[in-house]
Structure 1
Amino acid sequence: MTIQRTNGSLYTHIENRIATIEFGHPASNALPGELLNRMADTFRELSRNDQVRVIILKSEGERAFCAGASFDELMSISNQEEGTLFFSGFAKVINAMRTCTKPIIGRIQGKTVGGGVGLAAACDYCLATEAAAIKLSELTIGIGPFVIEPAVSRKIGLAAFEALSWKATDWQNAYWAKEKGLYAQVFEKISEVDKEVQFLAEKIASYHSNAVKALKKITWQGTDHWDTLLQERAKISGALVLSEFTKEKLKSFKK
């Protein structure tokens, strides 16, 4: 199944009990609101699909994994309601990944920023290339990584999250991300990542489904309050994005 629109594409393929979700956007696989909502819906649907045992999340191309929030959409936000609605998209995706009964393998082939780091953190297991550097650049445009913080901190720890957030202009390489726990393995080539992702997915698909579901549930224990928490965080970001500081920064970045 493919959902293709001017603001992004989403492709879902199921074979041998393995579902692959591939998203894309011309702006380095950025995430506009509609694409976020479609992605959340897809995770929910696959969670209920008895023909699926494991999910692979990937993005198009060989460069950036995800550029985070769509700058065009951020610039178009004109009131608190619109701002909260947009950032709620990230909350919906993370919560859909969190509550999904199937383990999610992240295939990270290149650089990832902001909300893209949140996506990687919400995966249950990530494999990456050496090119998969990460950055939380939100402070540079007057907002913050508030919605994704719980997922990122859960994966790499609060200290590492703070290091990423305060040094908002700095990239951390894939081996730093592996050391902190975001990536489980790092490979030199995309072909090597793809081979290992497929091998792992096939292994997990062969395991007892109830045992896999139980393990997924246990590893996300203590996150039931995220439905409320992430929505509250979306309101914070939705208000900050309306500031003149942010509007000017977005304009300058676009130029």
Structure 2
Amino acid sequence: MGTIETIINGNIATLLFFHPSSNSFPSTLLQQLTDEINTLSKNDSVSIIILKSAGTGAFCAGASFDELLSVSNYEEGSRFFSGFANVINAMRKCPKLIIGRIHGKAVGGGVGLASACDYSFATTKSEIKLSEIAIGIGPFVIEPAVSRKIGKMAMSEMTLNPTAWKTSKWAFEKGLFSEVFETIEDLDIRLEEYTKELSSYNPDALLEMKKVLWEGTSHWDSLLYERAAISGRLVLSDFTKNALEKFKK
């Protein structure tokens, strides 16, 4: 089922997620991540959160294909995709700045998580892809977060070419990644340096900056769940069921 681990060092909290299937997310893991973000939001001793995944392979493969295949009705589908809505809204509302450590490839919901970070570090292997259209659905829930970072046209370029990987250089130029490094080791050195310095700043100023960064997104409280309902309906189609089976094989 995967794991979520929280490590607090001083005023910096690290949220580490893991799943054996390329760090993908079943609904239970999405809920655990949401809960941990909400808990850290209330922790006055924490001013910075680092979001990272385990291993040296993929950063996040998005939604669990096995769980998508098991969806049998509209309510289940809508509830599953609401899991990503919950996480993104938790990240958006969190009063702490969230720094992403995107060490490897990100697909679908993984791109959404990277987009919901306030600042992100990546490597040259951190390619990204929105493959949802190819399986009969679409990146509806994560689209607001992705478009906010890279713009509607770049988001549509990814969405409408669902089998193509975009390089970390492309993601950096579009604004998804803040800094890109050749190796994970170089990334981690810079990440430690950066977060240590950032966490030394006035926490009230950091809080107010977080509010500024997310201005104009309060309607996401309803928008993301409306989008989840669209995905929940489409995942029941024969097209999507057949496509998921092919992808799984």
Given the two structures, how large is their TM-score scaled by the length of structure 1?
Answer: 0.97
The 5 Å alignment of 1:1-255 reads 7-255=1-249
SS in structure 1 at match of 2:110: helix
Q: What is the CA distance between 1:203 and its match in structure 2?
A: 1.1
Structure 2: gaps of 5 or more residues: none
CA distance in 1, matches of 2:155, 2:216: 19
What's the secondary structure of 2:246's corresponding residue? helix
SS state of the match for residue 55, structure 2? coil
Q: Report deviation, 1:45.
A: 0.7
Q: Matches of 2:93 and 2:189 in 1, distance apart?
A: 27
- Partner Cα separation in structure 1 for residue 198 and residue 8 of structure 2: 15
Number of matched residues?
249
Secondary structure of the equivalent of 2:3?
A: strand
Distance 2:90 2:191 in 1: 21
Alignment deviations for residues 44-73 of structure 1 (CA, whole Å, 9 cap, x no partner): 110110110100000010010000000000
Give the secondary-structure state (helix, strand or coil) at the position aligned to 2:32: helix
Matched to 1:163, the amino acid is E
Q: Runs (4+) of structure 1 moved beyond 4 Å?
A: none
- SS of aligned partner of 1:131: coil
Deviation string 1:14-33 (CA, Å, 9 cap, x unpaired) is 01100000001011000110
Task: Give 1:243 deviation, angstroms.
Answer: 0.3
Q: What is the Cα-based RMSD across aligned positions, in Å?
A: 0.5
| 2:210 counterpart SS class | helix
Shift of 1:254: 1.2
Cα distance in 1, alignment partners of residues 8 and 43 from structure 2: 10
TM-score by length of 2: 0.99
Q: CA deviation at 1:197?
A: 1.1
Deviations 1:110-163 (A, max 9, x none): 110000000000000010000000000000100000000000000000010000
User: How far, CA to CA, are the matches of 2:72 and 2:197 in structure 1?
Assistant: 48
Distance in 2 between residues matched to 1:97 and 1:106, nearest whole Å: 11
The percentage of counterpart residues that share the same residue type is 58
* Structure 2 residue identity aligned to 1:53: S
C-alpha distance in 2, partners of 1:70/1:197?
29
**Cα distance in 2 for residues equivalent to 1:71 and 1:8:** 14
